[in-house]
Structure 1
Amino acid sequence: MLEQGKIDSRQATLLMISMVLSTAILTAPAIIMKHAARDAWLSIIIATMAGLLIARLVTGLGLRFPGQTLFQYAEEILGRVPGKVVGFLYICWLLHSSALLTREFGSFLVSALMPDTPIIVFHIVGTAVLAYAVRNGLEVLSRYNQLFLPLVLGLLLVVFILATEEMEMTRLLPVFDKDFVAILKGAVVLTSWMGEIVIFAMIIPYLNRPEAAHRVAALSTLFTGFFLLVTVVVVLAIFGPNVSAHWIFPTFNAVRVVSIANFLERLESVIVAVWMLGGFAKVGIFYYAAVLGSAQWLELKDYRPLVLPVGVIVVALSILIHEGIVDMLDFIGRVWPFYALSIFEAGIPLLLLVVALARGKGGKSS
């Protein structure tokens, strides 16, 4: 194996939570509300159920081929040349995703905190730190995430509880204010986030107990769905759907209004901590998957020589792919769900499973 490290089920669960929640908690509420308005919470429930199906698909496929990642068993299922084509497509997607996440990360810091700082500074510094972590392997990323994620999510939950005085639950009524098509559109957008669990296909071989993969994927998806549900309910109850849908980061603004006795205020630093620490882990996972997958695709014995070149590509793409934050969020809301979900998160894994079953490839998934 190119990766010698092993992680336990708890570390893997927390890693999969970070992979979705850290960015979705800031940008997803506004995008979903543009479609489903006050019924956005229904979209989240539907998306969580869809995410569970994708999680089952990915883990079932991975467990049929013990010790292999998606890049490796794609060749075994489809043959060398078609498998290489699939691997190349995933490399492109992982690089694009890493660049998009890096741009999202930098855009938040510039627009919300440091507008006078060139965005390229955040991209270069962040990618350099991530390159060091990725070079040191999966265990380093997992231990970092295990240390910080429970702390920042616990703080965020406390902030949401403190925000109850600002909430008016009648803003969530009436239920089914939008038609089912609008609710489904919101669910499709969020499912494209939930579907990022496909990256778990690169992690399963490195679990110390691979048989726990189904439980890891299901728990992380359910927890992510629950936390996003709480987030959307809080935002809707404070601002209502009309105001929330027109903000770029409604969760950030919801936390800013919390004020306890004019003493405990300016708690948006908690959101910044979630974004910084969780976003670091998320970009790191995609970066790691891109490096490891590229090394396996090229049939190298060590992935570390690719860490720097992949980092340079990610930084370059992060500057070139979108003109600004509005253009980026429009892409995430309109194009990304169908591009990512239909091809990489559900389409290709489903194709691989069908062909594997038809050709009798792999063992039985547990």
Structure 2
Amino acid sequence: MEKAKISVIQLFAMMFMFELGSALVVSYGVTARKDAWLAILLGLCGGIALFFIYYALFRQYPNLPLTGYTRKIFGKYVGWIIGLSYTIYFLYNTARILRDFGDLLLSSTLPQTPLLAINILMILTICYVLYLGIEVLGRTAEVFIVILISLGLIGNLFVYLSGNINLSNLQPFLENGWKPIVTTAFPITTFFPFGQMLVFTMLLPYLNRPESVKKVWLSAIISSAFFLSYTTSLDIAVLSVEEVERSTFPLLSTIRTVDLFEFIQRLDAVVVFTLLITMFFKASILLYGAIIGIIDLFKLKNHQQIMLPMGVISLLLSMVIASNFAEHIEEGLDIMMYSLHLPFMVIMPLFMLLVSMIRNGFKKKDRSKSNVT
């Protein structure tokens, strides 16, 4: 693995922007309609529960990535196969993020540009930064989180000044009862994006203060959850829930309503640049997680020799996973939730934790017996 360290602030910045990702601009949690904000906060509770599973595994193997302790828990061969499965899973998620980004640019600002050209530029930028190492990615995150917050403040200011917010669009509370809220929170808003933080188990060995993992991780997911909940509420308050349901990218539609003095209009660039930042870091972290897995499993000397091949694979996957954006979204909501996210985010980590606790329990008994004799 790369001989590098990242600071607590850098890890928080990466986690925060990773969580926002594409969830910031898509119709996130809108299946709960006007109570989407509550479904996101309930999903946060599920995300915190998943965190404690991942954190318990990290505490037992603080110097190993996820692919390292799968082999410790399940043995050399079975653990290797499970670790490879996680690596492929992270690579597939990278491809989905690339597709999200390309489709947004196509629909918003570059309708005549080929999707392949957009994705090539994105993956080349990601590969260049990752080639320089995790420390460079961490320092870049420190800079861009400030830019991201500034863009958010500017965009919100213009939306408020435009006078398009109608709080009655958020009423009545619990219009359709608790069922749509709970079914939206579990599993949709729990797995996406909170469960996707699983990839950080590949990066935690790089943290210079491992004892701060719990504080940083929890603060990142809680702050991002409130940010996403607020953004979804703002979209509904400006557009109405019906229009948010119809819109592919509600935040883009919200910012387009800004019209001040017939001069300040068409602020699409604010949303596009925001998405560019969040999607860049999300795709970078997922790709780097996959690269760390390959290095760990195949005992390679450094990450630079496989950087471009892994980038090319994720690029090709992003082009073939779906024929259009509607199919891409349907695949993410209907297929991935139960066939991929559930086993990789919940079932396997829980099983690993259970096996690890049993193995450690037997080791302690053996030690106590040897001490007695």
Q: TM-score, normalised by structure 1?
A: 0.94
Match of 1:172 in 2: 170
Q: SS at the partner of 1:16?
A: helix
Cα shift at 1:313: 0.8
More deviation in 211-220 or 183-192?
A: 183-192
- The letter for the 2-side match of 1:191 is T
CA distance in 2, matches of 1:176, 1:53: 25
CA contact (8 A) 1:64 1:362 kept: no
Q: 1:231-242 maps to which residues of 2 (within 5 A)?
A: 231-242=231-242
Q: TM-score, normalised by structure 2?
A: 0.93
Deviations for 1:5-42, whole angstroms, at most 9, x for unmatched residues? 1111111011011112021101242xx21x21111111
CA contact (8 A) 2:10 2:138 kept: yes
- The letter for the 1-side match of 2:180 is A
- The letter for the 2-side match of 1:166 is N
Q: SS at the partner of 2:47?
A: helix
Cα shift at 1:337: 2.5
Match of 2:300 in 1: 300
Cα 1:156–1:211 change in 2 (3 A) is same
Cα shift at 1:59: 2.1
Match of 1:148 in 2: 144
Cα 1:157–1:126 change in 2 (3 A) is same
CA distance in 2, matches of 1:229, 1:298: 41
- The letter for the 2-side match of 1:218 is L
- The letter for the 1-side match of 2:169 is R
Cα shift at 1:130: 1.1
CA distance in 2, matches of 1:68, 1:102: 28
CA distance in 2, matches of 1:9, 1:361: 32
CA contact (8 A) 2:27 2:250 kept: no
CA distance in 1, matches of 2:361, 2:76: 14
Match of 1:267 in 2: 267
Q: SS at the partner of 2:2?
A: coil
* Identity %, equivalent residues: 27
Match of 2:97 in 1: 101
CA contact (8 A) 2:80 2:297 kept: yes
Q: SS at the partner of 1:166?
A: coil
- 1:349 pairs with 2:349: yes
CA contact (8 A) 2:200 2:289 kept: no
Q: 1:1-366 maps to which residues of 2 (within 5 A)?
A: 2-29=1-28, 32-33=29-30, 35-164=31-160, 165-187=163-185, 188-192=187-191, 193-360=193-360
Cα 1:362–1:211 change in 2 (3 A) is farther
Deviations for 1:88-147, whole angstroms, at most 9, x for unmatched residues? 111111111111111111111111111111100011111112111111111111111211
CA distance in 1, matches of 2:264, 2:52: 43
CA contact (8 A) 1:58 1:200 kept: no
- The letter for the 2-side match of 1:75 is R
How many residues align? The count is 360
- The letter for the 2-side match of 1:284 is S
Cα shift at 1:361: 7.5
Runs of 4+ in structure 1 off by over 6 angstroms are 361-364
CA distance in 2, matches of 1:331, 1:118: 22
CA contact (8 A) 1:256 1:265 kept: yes
CA distance in 2, matches of 1:62, 1:307: 26
C-alpha RMSD of the superposition? 1.7
CA distance in 2, matches of 1:47, 1:154: 27
Cα 1:73–1:241 change in 2 (3 A) is same
CA distance in 1, matches of 2:14, 2:181: 29
Q: Which is greater in Rg? A: 2
Gaps of 5+ in 1: none
Deviations for 1:142-195, whole angstroms, at most 9, x for unmatched residues? 111211122222321332243232111111111111232211222121211111
CA contact (8 A) 1:18 1:281 kept: yes
Cα 1:149–1:340 change in 2 (3 A) is farther
Match of 2:369 in 1: none
- The letter for the 2-side match of 1:349 is P
